[in-house]
Amino acid sequence: MGLSFLDSVHQEEGSFLLWARVGVYGSYASGKTHGGSDLDLAIISPDFGKDRFEEGKMLHRVAWRIDPRIEPVPISSESLENDTWIPLIHEIRSNGIGI
């Protein structure tokens, strides 16, 4: 799903994410899913970090077209490497699964 999600971002939004990577975190990464679980995706790219609201909005537009359970979060490559004090970054680095 991760690569097809990035393909959809490119096709539907006309956006190309330089060196984008996808990581799964949350209940799917921990194996503790239930009927109402969403799919938490970290979309990591050096293109992110300029306007998190607009970046998230763009990713959500694509996600809703594919599957409303997808919860994409834009993460800049720099933030993933340097902002280890942010709880979400810590979770992704500690327990996330790369796709």
Convert the pLDDT of each residue in 44-83 to its tens digit. 989 899 999 999 999 999 899 888 999 999 999 999 999 8
Q: What was the pLDDT predicted at 13?
A: 65
Which CA distances in Å does 61 have to 42, 46, 78? 15, 20, 24
Q: What was the pLDDT predicted at 84?
A: 80
The confidence band for 19, taking pLDDT boundaries of 50, 70 and 90, is low
CATH code: domain of residue 56: 3.30.460
Average pLDDT, the chain: 86
Q: How many domains does the chain have?
A: 1
- Domain with 60, as residue range(s), is 2-29+37-98
